[in-house]
Amino acid sequence: MLTAPEIDKICENSGGALIKAVFPGLAPRRTLYISEKVRALITGTAANMDSKMRERWLVARAVLEAFVDGHWITTKSKKKSRAEMAVLCPQAAGIWEFRDVKPRPSLRILGGFLQKDVFVALVPYERSELGKKGSQEWRDALQNFNVQWELLFGGHKPMSGGRYPDDYLSLARPLD
Amino acid sequence: MTTSALPDLLTDVLKKEPIPKETIGYLVARTKLRLHDFILRQLATAEDSQKLDQAKIARRLGVSRAQISQQLGVPGNWTVASVTKLAAAMGGEIEFQWRPFSEEKPEAFGGPSPDEFSGLRPEEKDAA
């Protein structure tokens, strides 16, 4: 498991590819690291964003703020359950998603836990880009996640195993 | 350490006229997420103290348990009416606090104590 100084070193050496997100006015109860791509989207500074997409990704920013602020978070436990976070199959890979479904377009941010309550939000998508679960687009997204993760963390895999979701998140509420 | 203090949208609100449309959307989302957190917190308390569960809430509101589960999942569609119904089914109502944008959110402002989190808080763990 990576220690806090090791994670900070990775951020320093990443040339801005990974940063620790600090939201003004919020006492951090959980820790969030974000990729440059996520940062650009939630600050409305990504290339070619129109006002509609800026507005949409600012809503996603509010979701990430809620994570850092220590809100209760719903987790997916059934195929059809609507939750804020979910671990993707296969669970052993330790890839999670933030699921921000409203307003449309629905968004997903793939990431992984380094420790309990310490999340790396790495690759953002509009849900429509991903097709059906199991599609080539999804496989590409998971592959993209793995490549990005490997670039940053080398042989340190995302946290996996243990009790889902309580070993990953304080104040998690699985939806039944 | 490489951190990013992201732009403060709240103080931005105080400076810009009119308030940008996308900032309004962000503020609406924040409010819904705080209501969501509040309801889930009250539900966890009520489950312990009143032996309340989602099935009982569903019966009280005359809807299916699946509908309650769906409502609790994400607050995107929440309205004043839906929040009021959930609160009523748990035996209470919501009160409010005013916080000017110019003031930081205090630790005790309707949230959990940082001690409830067992995860890494680098500054604290390094100092320990």
Sign of CA dihedral A78, B37, B61, B76: negative
- Torsion angle, alpha carbons of A49, A54, A59, A63, to 10: 50
- Of the candidate ranges A43-47, A116-120, A121-125, B122-126, the one whose mean pLDDT is the lowest: B122-126
Q: Which of A30, A46, A2 is nearest to B119 (CA)?
A: A30
* A79/B contact by beta carbon, under 8 A: no
A11 CB neighbours in chain B (<8 A) are: 1-3
Of A8, A19, A175, which is closest to B73 when you measure between CB atoms? A175
| Residue-wise pLDDT tens digits, B11-40 | 778 887 888 888 999 999 999 999 999 999
Q: Identify the pLDDT of residue B16.
A: 79
Task: Report d(CA A152, CA A121) in Å as an integer.
Answer: 12
Picking from A45, A42, A94, A92, the residue whose alpha carbon sits closest to that of residue A68 is A42
* The dihedral formed by the CA atoms of A58, A59, A62 and A67, expressed in degrees to the nearest 10: -120
The pTM of this model reads 0.91
8 Å CB contact between A34 and A18: yes
Are B87 and B52 spatial neighbours (Cβ–Cβ below 8 Å)? no
Report yes or no: B87 and B35 within 8 Å, Cβ to Cβ. Answer: no
- Residue identified by tokens 């994670």 is A7
**Distance in angstroms (rounded) separating the CA atoms of residues A129 and A100:** 14
pLDDT one-digit tens code per residue, A140-171 = 999 999 999 999 999 999 999 999 999 999 99
Query: Which residues 6+ apart lie within 8 Å of A44 measured at CB?
Result: A54, A57, A58, B22
Q: How far is B76 from chain A (nearest CA, A)?
A: 5
Range B9-93 has CATH code 1.10.260: yes
What whole-number distance in Å separates Cα of residue A159 and Cα of residue B94?
37
Q: What is the pLDDT of residue B4?
A: 66
* Domains of chain A by residue range: 4-174
What does DSSP say about strands A172-174 and A118-126: parallel, antiparallel, or unpaired? unpaired
3-state SS assignment for residue A108: strand
**By the CB < 8 Å criterion, does B40 face chain A?**
yes
Range with the lowest mean pLDDT among A166-170, B1-5, B98-102? Answer: B1-5
